[in-house]
Chain A
Amino acid sequence: DTAVSQTPKYLVTQMGNDKSIKCEQNLGHDTMYWYKQDSKKFLKIMFSYNNKELIINETVPNRFSPKSPDKAHLNLHINSLELGDSAVYFCASSHRLAGGLGEQYFGPGTRLTVT
């Protein structure tokens, strides 16, 4: 059974399009995250939701909008895609981390290529 799953695994699209990436976790966690990993392998937190409530919202263009229909799902919608959005996007989940105690479980990633 896959703990954290993402769809699609690969996404190739043109500039200006709107796309969504879906994430689901079956671990019973109450917190979910979206990360962006660029070509230099830097991992940057974008958003975090706890029980469907946004708790971390880093400096991310407002073209990116997370949506959490329930605590097992956190989807990422991206409007007006740009070349610089090309990256691997990871979803993760955990119990609510206080002071960093605990671990995050990552999905397999979605490789987004904008042409």
Chain B
Amino acid sequence: LAKTTQPISMDSYEGQEVNITCSHNNIATNDYITWYQQFPSQGPRFIIQGYKTKVTNEVASLFIPADRKSSTLSLPRVSLSDTAVYYCLGWNFNKFYFGSGTKLNVKP
């Protein structure tokens, strides 16, 4: 099973870089790792996806080590509006599992 685990919560201050790590044991060789963001009373929203090494887009970076058993979502210079729950999503062939979510609280 592509079980995923991540920290329950994290605190940060505006302007800091935040790194959220997810461990995903048994991820299949060819499967991707995806991160989603969820604000209260909204559905999750796609942030970034990667297979190996590093991926960067306009909102985040995703670091995946060579063994692919974990991944780290990096949010540069967070603002108050980045306060949300962040989920990693792991696949194992045709099955996928969301992590339990990390509640990021950004303080002024």
Indicate whether A and B interact.
yes
Q: For chain A, give the interface size range.
A: 20 to 34
- A90's partner among B44, B85, B94, B96 (CB-CB below 8 A) is B44
Docked CA distance A92–B46 (Å): 12
Docked CA distance A4–B43 (Å): 10
Given contacts A100-B89, A101-B49, whether A109 and B100 have CB atoms under 8 Å apart is: no
* B14 sits at the interface (CB 8 A): no
- A99's partner among B32, B41, B42, B44 (CB-CB below 8 A) is B32
Q: Are A100 and B45 in contact (CB under 8 A)?
A: no
How far in angstroms is the closest Cβ of chain A from B20?
A: 15
| Residue ID in chain B nearest A91 by CB atoms | B43
| Residue ID in chain A nearest B101 by CB atoms | A41
Given contacts A41-B101, A43-B98, A43-B101, whether A103 and B46 have CB atoms under 8 Å apart is: yes
Interface residues of B (CB under 8 A from A): 28, 30-34, 38, 41-46, 49, 85, 87, 89-91, 93-98, 100-101, 103
